Structure 1
């Protein structure tokens, strides 16, 4: 579930000085890959790190959750995005589009989807193309943005009230959520969102790479998958909730603070004491509920 950058993935999860040295040596491999014209594919593989199959902790679909597939056009053919739709117990409840991060498909995210539904949301969750039961090869920054837009159109039909539609993104999915929200800010009112929720995410992928390696390395020159959330969030025109655990060892919480500083308008930052990359919603559930009331009126 947690996102690692291209550099930390190649470092094979080594810690301390050994990890830093491995990250440094990785740059040599990356530069060599550039020379061989192979960087694009390798970078996508190491950015998304798709784990095939079912997560070991997945115990099956809960009652009432409906699976379906959404068509999307890709290079002259139709591909499909696999979706989960789990209506809330309350009729006409607010609905949220759940956008997951790297590595695990939907089966690895059910626990967080359950938490959002316990907050009172109906939840539409998708696997980007290349993940889980969705079609396609390895995803890219471009294709995950496309998939989020297709899913949002579908959610707009499931919940026609724009004020009751929200976007949630975890980790890398936070960057996808911010891209979607920034695009919706330029679209019609009918496609608008009621708010944006970003958890355990970052200001940009090069910022993550720098945070996990030497800050002076010119990683931005080597990365094509950039996910520049700090630039895009400036265009978001809905209330924004940003959450991060202060014990997140995969993405430093100061990158969410940078996101928060860049966000205009009504916003709130929650830094969860003891929160890791994956448990901030559970540990900070009271703060989440209060923020929903303060920011979104839910």
Structure 2
């Protein structure tokens, strides 16, 4: 075999290997991304034990995505007792469907809001799909637009719990017609949440595709922000809520609820919520 033929074959061999490795890497990254989406969202039809949706109406929100996909979102609508009440979009966290958020929905309704709470794709009765950061934000925007059509001219607010807080911040950054944002038990970004866990010392930051970088977005919110966190939250440390608050612009308020966990912070802070609604949002809660 001549030297020219040898090097030609060698180049072909290494070229083929490079294509295979690139394809394998792409397949691996795609699988890694899918695994992260499952781990972060934990999509399901599970509901919180003892959930009670009495007084809440089931609604369907059909819309077409930017890519032309037809989506059906399922939600719960709980109107306030008084006419022309402020409207609030409720964005829930991971694992549980919208029905599982009924206690929080009810408490916010008792404060005087008409509440729309929705399931992202992959949760409950919404379109079946593996959710992602981008699709959840797209779903939230569709629900926000539905709320505007439902009650045109009424002031609208955004509420997010846990993962829903990150989605709420992303939505608020992208719209200009929200009157205020409330986030509870949420975080700065997913890498920081991972760092707070048992295996946080592992150098995996560069592998995280679903980042939810709220700390880089929160300063772009153009309305008052309320950040609420429990000191005994075992899932998301209160320091992440504090860091998120510190990165936001005024007007803002931070409520740190002593002894509250990831799931009972709101129930233990209703008095502080009422005070913040009056002083930060200039509302008159019930």
Q: TM-score range by the shorter chain?
A: 0.7 to 0.9
Gaps of 5+ in 2: 1-24
The aligned counterpart of 2:145 is 153
Secondary structure of 1:139's counterpart equals coil
Structure 2 equivalent of residue 172 of structure 1: 163
Q: Is contact 1:237-1:265 (8 Å) kept?
A: no
Q: Which of 39, 42, 47 is residue 35 of structure 2 equivalent to? A: 42
- In structure 1, distance between residues paired with 2:142 and 2:29: 35
Give the CA deviation at 1:109.
0.7
Provide the rounded CA distance (Å) in 2 between the counterparts of 1:129 and 1:34: 24
User: Hey, what does 2:64 align to over in structure 1?
Assistant: 73
1:227 Cα deviation (Å)?
Answer: 0.4
Whether the aligned pair in 2 keeps the contact of 1:246 and 1:253 (CA below 8 Å) is yes
Which residue does 1:262 correspond to in 2?
Answer: 247
d(CA) in 2 for partners of 1:243, 1:83? 24
- C-alpha displacement of 1:282: 1.0
The aligned counterpart of 1:196 is 181
Q: Which moved more, 1:225-234 or 1:41-50?
A: 41-50
TM-score scaled to structure 1, two decimals?
0.82
The aligned residue for residue 26 of structure 1 is none
The structure whose Rg is larger is 2
Measure, in 2, the Cα distance between the counterparts of 1:67 and 1:173: 20
Report how far residue 38 of structure 1 moved: 1.4
Q: CA RMSD in A?
A: 1.8
Per the TM alignment, residue 51 of structure 1 is displaced from its structure 2 partner at its CA by 3.0
Q: Within 2, Cα distance between the matches of 1:284 and 1:54?
A: 23
Relative distance call for 1:119 and 1:216 in structure 2 (3 A) is: same
Q: Do the aligned residues in 1 keep the contact of 2:44 with 2:122 (CA within 8 Å)?
A: no
Shift of 1:200: 0.1
Evaluate the alpha carbon distance shift between residue 93 and residue 171 of structure 1 in structure 2; reply closer, same or farther with a 3 A threshold: same
Shift of 1:62: 1.0
Partner of 2:74: 82
CA distance in 1, matches of 2:36, 2:282: 41
Q: In 2, Cα distance between the equivalents of 1:99 and 1:178?
A: 10
Partner of 1:238: helix, strand, or coil? coil
Instruction: Give structure 1 stretches of 5+ with no counterpart.
Output: 1-31, 186-191
> In the alignment, what sits opposite 1:232?
217
**1:114 aligned residue (71, 94, 106):** 106
Q: Distance in 2 between matches of 1:151 and 1:85?
A: 11
2:61 aligned counterpart, secondary structure: strand
CA contact (8 A) 1:205 1:226 kept: yes
Kept in 1: contact 2:45–2:125 (CA 8 A) = no
Correspondence list, 1:55-66, <5 A:
55-59=48-52, 61-63=53-55, 65-66=56-57
Equivalences for residues 209-248 of structure 1 within 5 A: 209-213=194-198, 216-248=201-233
Contact 1:47–1:102 (8 Å) recurs in 2: yes
Question: How many angstroms does 1:216 deviate by?
Answer: 4.6
SS at 1:89's partner residue? coil
In structure 2, distance between residues paired with 1:236 and 1:227: 15
After superposition, give the CA deviation of every residue in 1:157-215 in whole Å (9 maximum; x if it has no partner).
Answer: 223335x2100000000000000110014xxxxxx011000000000011100111455
- Residue 53 of structure 1, CA deviation: 4.3
* Structure 1 residues 37 and 55, CA gap change in structure 2 (3 angstroms): same
